[in-house]
Amino acid sequence: MKKRIAILATNGFEESELKSPKEQLEQQGWQVDVVSPEWDKIRAWAKKDWGPEYTVDVNVDQARARDYDALVLPGGVINPDQLRMNKDSLQFIRDFFAQGKPVAAICHGPQLLIEAEVVKGRQLTSVENISTDLKNAGADWRNNEVVVDGMLITSRTPNDLPAFNKALVAMVTSSGSV
């Protein structure tokens, strides 16, 4: 059965952290939906300035974790800060954890995991700027390019995307389908 993966993002996501995993997942023949609280399009942050727009496939208030095999949370400074104030986005994340499905977060993406209250007792990594926030939320923070804890995959920065993508594809391949 064909896999279906959600990438939750809004304006200000780090472009490489959405584009690279999306391309890797699509190369497997899987469907990848950009899910957002915005309608129609969202704009990327490309290193130091605004980047291109990406099409939103599903509005988060209509998305259901049960319809997906995995969730990807790209970072960027702006993206998680906006999403953590959106109740539908937080519930969407919590539902993946409740259903035991893979969740992969990179860079500032784990800030959403703090707000969703799913990091306590888990090993993970992130961009170093938020390591103290994760530790204060009860996470066991590691400075590794990729950390896998059960069905949770985390990485630090865009430099870690090759390891992040490899872990993500492996986990989605081995997990069950919706």
Question: Domain segments of the chain: what residues?
Answer: 4-174
pLDDT tens digits along 51-71: 999 999 999 999 999 999 999
pLDDT tens digits along 83-96: 999 999 999 999 99
* 3-class secondary structure, 45: strand
42, 107, 161, 169: which one is catalytic?
Answer: 107
CA pair distance 141, 73, nearest whole angstrom: 17
Q: How many CA atoms lie within 13 A of 139 on its CB side?
A: 28
- Joined together, the tokens standing for residue 17 give 């952290």
44 is catalytic: no
Residue 41 has pLDDT above 70, yes or no: yes
- Joined together, the tokens standing for residue 110 give 């784990």
* 3-class secondary structure, 17: helix
Fold that domain 4-174 belongs to in CATH: Rossmann fold (3.40.50)
CA pair distance 71, 75, nearest whole angstrom: 13
Label residue 1 by pLDDT band (50, 70, 90). Answer: low
